[in-house]
Amino acid sequence: MTFDFNPMLATAGAFTGVLVGLTGVGGGSVMTPILLLIFGTAPMAAVGTDLWFAAFTKIAATKVHSARGLIDWQVVRRLWLGSLPASAATMWWLSTYPVDAHSTEWVKGAIAMAILVTATAMLFQEQLHELGRRLRIGDAETFKALQPFMTVACGATLGFLVTLTSIGAGALGVVFLAYLYPLRLTSSRLIATDIVHAIPLAMFAGMGHLVAGHVDLNLLGNLLIGSLPGVVVGALLSSKLPQVVLRRTLSAILVFIGVKLLHAAG
């Protein structure tokens, strides 16, 4: 297999990599629609390739965050307990009822809806964080008793969405954690913990798509050429830039992308 360098793909990878490093968001919610709308990639190939793109990109960011001691490993393990079995079940479903040329439109629709849900969740992250903070302070014992179960349930939701659409591990993961751990996780720890959780999930789901033939290795290589340096830059800047402004700007972009993709699917 020969490798064909594509500067446009590398640039798209760099842009997305910076977003992932800055906010923990973008591996799926930005890259997948870029592949669909700009590069005309087939839906399942976009999902499968993007899962590996997100995994390798976030590995690069993890080294920066780990060096700063920002990862909450107990929370990560709880998320994995839900997300990995859910990913396996979803991959089994996709292999039992494979997507063919006649059913790709519903996949595009599912990706569009996942993007819109992600954008909405990001817009209300501050309110959900405040709600979680009030509940955590007002009834600490009950809230802390429910945290492990709710974290596993959130992980299962992410496992299903990520395997089906490659979207959710970043944005929705951050929103879930902001509500569930309002006092424990600072903004930087939130991003770092969410990124680390997403890596095995993306690789686990990505392996299933690789076996199914949904991964374009040439496409993946081009994207990683741009994203690996981009994500390191973003991770280094993540603690220096206003997360609220970044999140709202990204939410607006995702709403536009989601509507555009929904229109294209329908």
With cut-offs at 50, 70 and 90, classify the pLDDT of residue 102.
low
Range of the domain at 247: 7-265
Q: In angstroms, how far is the first alpha carbon of the chain from the final one?
A: 36
Q: What is the C-alpha to C-alpha distance for residues 190 and 171, in angstroms, rounded to an integer?
A: 11
Structural domain includes residue 244? yes
With respect to residue 107, please indicate whether it lies within any of the assigned structural domains: yes
Closest CA to 57 of 180, 145, 159, 169: 169
The answer to the question of residue 2 being in a domain is no
* Mean pLDDT (whole number) for 39-53: 90
Asked whether residue 47 is assigned to any structural domain, the reply reads yes
**Residue range 18-22: average pLDDT?**
82
As a whole number, mean pLDDT of residues 192-209 equals 89
In a domain, 162, yes or no: yes
Q: How confident is the model at residue 55 (pLDDT cuts 50, 70, 90)?
A: confident
Residue 1 lies in a domain: no
Q: How many domains does the chain have?
A: 1
Residue 146 lies in a domain: yes
Q: Is residue 150 a part of any domain in this protein? A: yes
Contact 258, 115 (CB under 8 A): yes
Contact in structure between 173 and 122 (CB atoms under 8 Å): no
In whole angstroms, give the CA distance from residue 195 to residue 123: 20
* pLDDT tens, position by position, 112-171: 888 888 888 888 888 999 999 999 999 999 999 999 999 999 999 999 999 998 888 777
